[in-house]
């Protein structure tokens, strides 16, 4: 539970149209909580006529009377850069822009003139864009910014006589959608407020007793919170009135395919036939990103493709119910441990980020094949049994966030049978769906090598198989080593793969092994965790897809070393059983949505706040990560104590022995401690301050091995062009 008053001390807030109504209530609240407020208002009439300094001045006086800081600005929001200039000239910075100014020119559409249309678009849409655009470079530079855009129910739902206003207001929703994406990496959040308040804009529209209850003061705290640094909301539409507040989103129906296969066309008649399904909102869904929507279109294409494939393919449906206990058991089976802090999210159902290991669904493959006759008779004359089937390769692609418990339907089919001479390969494809929402969750492929089953004259290569890819021919960027337990197979099998090859000495020896071997999918889970820990800061939702080849067996108790190579968002990996130096997983890779380097991970133990130089260290983190061998030559651990106006405010560690950069104090021995002001660190990184001069002037204090700092020059020089 977070407590304490929310404050805006040191922050500068622009509120446009703050001379009256909602804007006035926002400005007064910001002013009363420590913000320096730019009270902008043109002071014109309700329809955009005239101007006056009176209204802005009176709000400024009111804020000052209450002990706050404020300055007036009388510019039109179309001159947004002048409003931002006022903030910079008067207060030296800008943190929040609340775009609130507004007028009305209501007319029925038939009577609406170009000037009625243009003036509304100018004030609401272009004015918000111009003011926000002027503040944007400051937000980016300081790695912080909050933008509020003001929409209206007339925009969201339409209102007679407000075609110009509704269109401009919905334009602001589109603006927020994109600004929230563009600003995200610089901690710039953009949200939309949809107020309903008693003001001069609504005085003759709503009944008087309702008008009384529509107090702007009931909405101001919502805008205040959305503008606060602690609020992580971004890209949302928030409605607020009479002390009620809620979030509003676009929804889309489940829709339906209007053709049966890729060769089929769509006709107007097919559209008519399916119209009730197209518009059926009973299974409507919301989407978080354009990628999610495109992903669904790709799934529709997959479905069309699979409808086209031969009807002789065998199919099977498997229903699985799993609970959090299964999720935890699987995680333990693939080596998740409380000793690794980023694994606890897989092991404790009450953890705030309790998650399913993203490789969990691969385990349905062997279950589906073994619990059914899917594989029987697919190669005439060949009997399948646990001793002649080897799991060759595995692929999984994730389409939606995987639930920690649920009812899942897996649809299996034998996609292809390849003749490899001595043996045969059966390519099994399975897709998993949430039984309740019908959302497609994953697509999986499993290649099974059937010993001694080749020579039947089938194709040698597959068109459908997702290929393995060898890692780059250079040293790995990172490696993680973890010992498996001698009971690892005994634990992993409880997730459903009860093949006796992994437990039974006799059966293992019949299959040619000296002892029962570990499930290939178990090693896959170990390495997937290692990759996520190293390149996604442990975030399971980062994984998009994973492919591995099971090259050699692992004996339970052996140590697995996952070597990793980063190539953009693709992490190639290869896993070795250390004891016999056998490459057990090869040609493997994981595709991530984005790489999150633990090098810029926050160390929660140290008190720290966001500073300008954070961006410098984040940049260095990326560089160190991709040039590990080079930076390790510097061979030093540097502790930066970052000061903010003379007060120690954050610690950053450059551990170039291990090749990591993180926010927080060093975990082991330190070679050199450097103390510097936040702003000076940025100047130093930009090459605008000479380190020797800074040292001489006492702006840079160095303790420990001073000579080692000479070697840091190359690191700073290499990063400069990107800063
Ligand atoms: P208001 O008329 O009381 O306040 C708007 C202020 O903006 C006025 O003081 C006006 O002088 C100023 N202004 C107008 N054009 C300007 C310009 N070009 N440059 C600088 N200042 C300018 O209106 P109210 O009700 O407080 O509305 C604030 C915002 O909330 C508007 O964007 C409005 O469209 C929106 N809104 C209000 C609703 C309500 O129920 N009051 C409902 C939905 C949206």
Q: How far apart are CA 288 and CA 413, in angstroms?
A: 31
Report the nearest atom of ligand 1 relative to the CA of 216: 26
- Same domain as 218, residue 337: no
- Same domain as 72, residue 20: yes
- Same domain as 384, residue 428: yes
Q: Is residue 2 assigned to a domain? A: no
pLDDT digits (tens, 9 = 90+) for 323-364: 999 999 999 999 999 989 999 999 999 998 999 999 999 999
Q: Is residue 212 assigned to a domain? A: yes
Residue range 385-399: mean pLDDT, rounded: 88
Residue range 170-194: mean pLDDT, rounded: 97
- Same domain as 225, residue 110: yes
| Torsion sign (Cα): 401, 403, 404, 408 | negative
- What are 317's strand-pairing partners? 411
Q: Which residues of 276-308 are buried (b: 16+ CB within 10 A; e: fewer)?
A: eeeeeeeeebeeeeeeeeebbeebeeeebebee
Count how many residues are written for the chain: 723
- Same domain as 636, residue 587: no
Q: How far apart are CA 374 and CA 143, in angstroms?
A: 55
* Residue of 18, 46, 201 to test ligand 1 pocket, by largest number of atoms within 8 Å of CB: 201
CATH number at residue 717: 3.30.1050.10
DSSP string, 466-522: PPP-PPPSS--SEEEEEEPPTTHHHHHGGGS---GGGT-HHHHHHTT-SSPPPPHHH
- Evaluate whether 37 touches 63 at the Cβ level (below 8 Å): yes
Could you tell me the residue range of the domain that residue 172 belongs to? 12-247
Q: Is residue 254 assigned to a domain? A: no
Report the separation in Å between the CA atom of 17 and the middle of ligand 1, taken as the mean of its atom positions: 6
- Same domain as 569, residue 514: yes
- What are 490's strand-pairing partners? none
- Same domain as 640, residue 585: no
- Same domain as 628, residue 579: no
Q: Is residue 125 assigned to a domain? A: yes
**Total domains in the fold of the chain:** 3
- What are 395's strand-pairing partners? 445, 547
Q: Is residue 288 assigned to a domain? A: no
Domain edge (last residue) among 221, 247, 273: 247
- Same domain as 152, residue 26: yes
The beta-strand segments (E) located in 621-680 are: 637-644, 647-655, 660-663, 672-677
Q: Is residue 262 assigned to a domain? A: no
- Residue 606 is predicted with a pLDDT of 35
Residue range 25-54: mean pLDDT, rounded: 94
pTM recorded for the entire structure: 0.54
- Same domain as 633, residue 577: no
- Same domain as 644, residue 561: no
pLDDT reading at 401 higher than 80 = yes
Report the separation in Å between the CA atom of 176 and the middle of ligand 1, taken as the mean of its atom positions: 19
**Residues 69, 75, 80, 86: what is their CA dihedral angle, to the nearest 10 degrees?**
-40
pLDDT digits (tens, 9 = 90+) for 416-464: 888 888 888 999 999 999 988 889 999 999 999 888 888 777 788 887 8
- Evaluate whether 422 touches 341 at the Cβ level (below 8 Å): no
Judged by DSSP in three states, 689 sits in: coil
- Residue 237 is predicted with a pLDDT of 98
Token pair 């309740």 is at which residue? Answer: 436
pLDDT digits (tens, 9 = 90+) for 362-390: 999 888 887 777 777 777 777 777 678 88
Residues catalogued as catalytic: 165
CATH number at residue 445: 3.10.129.10
Please name the residue whose Cα sits nearest to atom 18 of ligand 1. Answer: 76
Return the HEC string of 14-65: EECCCCCHHHHHHHHHHHHCCCEEEEECCCCCCCCCCCCCHHHHHHHHHHHH
Q: Is residue 210 assigned to a domain? A: yes
- Same domain as 243, residue 346: no
pLDDT reading at 602 higher than 70 = no
Contacts of 659 (CB under 8 A, 6+ apart): 478, 624, 625, 628, 631, 632
- Residue 377 is predicted with a pLDDT of 72
- Residue 311 is predicted with a pLDDT of 40
Q: How far apart are CA 688 and CA 685, in angstroms?
A: 8
CATH number at residue 116: 3.40.50.720
Q: How far apart are CA 232 and CA 224, in angstroms?
A: 13
**Crossing angle between the packed helical segments 324-333 and 520-535, to the nearest 10 degrees:** 90
Q: Which residues line ligand 1 (CB under 6 A)?
A: 16-17, 19-23, 40-44, 46, 48, 55, 76-77, 100-103, 123, 127, 150, 152, 195-197, 199-202
- Residue 721 is predicted with a pLDDT of 60
Which residue would you say has higher pLDDT here, 370 or 267?
267
Query: What is the number of other CB atoms lying within 10 angstroms of the CB of residue 613?
Result: 24
Domain edge (last residue) among 247, 267, 294: 247
Q: Is residue 266 assigned to a domain? A: no
Report the separation in Å between the CA atom of 432 and the middle of ligand 1, taken as the mean of its atom positions: 50
Q: How far apart are CA 357 and CA 363, in angstroms?
A: 11
Domain edge (last residue) among 247, 275, 301: 247
- What are 145's strand-pairing partners? 188
Residue from 149, 153, 174, 150 nearest 162 by CA: 153
Percent of the chain at pLDDT > 70 equals: 96
């Amino acid at each position: 539970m977070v407590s304490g008053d929310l404050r805006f001390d040191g922050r500068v807030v622009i509120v446009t149209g703050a001379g009256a109504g909602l804007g006035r209530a926002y400005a007064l609240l910001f002013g009363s909580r420590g913000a320096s407020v730019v009270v902008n208002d043109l002071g014109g009439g309700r329809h955009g006529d005239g101007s006056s300094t009176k209204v802005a001045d009176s709000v400024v006086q009111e804020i000052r009377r209450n002990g706050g800081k404020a300055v007036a600005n009388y510019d039109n929001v179309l001159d947004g850069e002048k409003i931002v200039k006022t903030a910079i000239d008067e207060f030296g910075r800008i943190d929040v822009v609340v775009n609130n100014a507004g007028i009305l020119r209501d007319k029925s559409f038939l009577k609406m003139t170009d000037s009625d249309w243009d003036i509304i678009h100018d004030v609401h849409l272009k004015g918000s864009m111009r003011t926000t655009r002027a503040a944007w470079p400051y937000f980016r530079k300081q790695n912080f910014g909050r933008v509020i855009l003001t929409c209206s129910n007339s925009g969201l739902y339409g209102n007679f006589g407000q075609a110009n206003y509704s269109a401009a207001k919905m334009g602001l929703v589109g603006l927020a959608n994109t600004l929230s994406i563009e600003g995200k990496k610089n901690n710039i959040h953009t949200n939309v407020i949809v107020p309903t308040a008693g003001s001069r804009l609504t005085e003759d529209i709503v009944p008087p007793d309702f008008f009384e209850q529509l107090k702007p003061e009931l909405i101001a705290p919502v805008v205040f919170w959305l503008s606060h640094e602690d609020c992580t909301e971004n890209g949302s539409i928030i409605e607020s009135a009479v002390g009620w507040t809620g979030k509003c989103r676009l929804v889309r129906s489940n829709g339906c395919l209007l053709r049966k296969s890729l060769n089929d066309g769509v006709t107007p008649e097919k559209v008519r036939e399916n119209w009730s399904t197209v518009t059926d909102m009973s299974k409507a869904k919301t989407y978080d990103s354009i990628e999610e929507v495109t992903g669904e279109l790709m799934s529709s294409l997959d479905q069309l493709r699979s409808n086209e494939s031969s009807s002789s393919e065998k199919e099977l449906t498997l229903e699985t119910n799993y609970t959090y206990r299964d999720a935890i058991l699987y995680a333990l089976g693939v080596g998740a441990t409380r000793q690794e802090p980023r694994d606890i999210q897989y092991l404790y159902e009450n953890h705030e980020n309790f998650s399913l290991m993203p490789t969990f669904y691969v385990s349905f493959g062997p279950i589906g094949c073994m619990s059914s006759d899917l594989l029987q008779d697919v190669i005439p004359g060949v009997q399948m049994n646990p001793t002649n089937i080897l799991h060759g390769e595995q692929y999984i692609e994730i389409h939606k966030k995987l639930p920690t418990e649920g009812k899942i339907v897996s649809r299996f089919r034998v996609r292809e049978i390849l003749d490899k001479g001595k043996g045969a390969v059966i390519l099994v494809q399975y897709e998993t769906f949430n039984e309740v929402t019908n959302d497609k969750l994953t697509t999986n492929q499993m290649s099974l090598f059937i010993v001694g089953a080749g020579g039947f004259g089938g194709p040698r290569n597959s068109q459908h198989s997702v290929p393995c890819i060898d890692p780059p021919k250079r040293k790995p960027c990172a490696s993680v080593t973890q010992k498996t337990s001698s009971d690892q197979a005994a634990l992993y099998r409880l997730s459903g793969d009860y093949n006796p090859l992994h437990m039974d000495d006799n059966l293992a020896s019949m299959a040619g092994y000296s002892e029962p071997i570990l499930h290939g999918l178990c090693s896959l889970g170990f390495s997937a965790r290692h990759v996520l820990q190293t390149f996604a800061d442990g975030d399971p939702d980062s994984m998009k897809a994973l492919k591995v080849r099971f090259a050699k067996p692992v004996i339970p108790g052996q140590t697995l070393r996952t070597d990793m190579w980063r190539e953009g968002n693709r992490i190639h990996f290869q896993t070795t059983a250390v004891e016999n130096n056998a490459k057990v997983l090869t040609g493997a890779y994981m595709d991530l949505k984005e790489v999150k380097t633990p090098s810029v991970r926050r160390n929660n133990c140290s008190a720290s706040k966001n500073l300008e130089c954070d961006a410098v260290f984040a940049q260095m983190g990326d560089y160190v990560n991709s040039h590990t061998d080079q930076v390790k030559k510097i061979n030093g651990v540097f502790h930066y104590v970052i000061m903010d106006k003379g007060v120690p405010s954050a610690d950053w560690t450059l551990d170039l022995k291990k090749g990591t950069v993180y926010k927080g104090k060093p975990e082991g021995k330190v070679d050199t401690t450097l103390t510097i002001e936040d702003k000076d660190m940025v100047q130093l990184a930009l090459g605008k301050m000479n380190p020797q001069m800074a040292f001489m002037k006492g702006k840079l204090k160095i303790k420990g091995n001073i000579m080692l700092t000479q070697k840091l020059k190359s690191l700073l020089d290499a990063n400069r062009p990107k800063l």
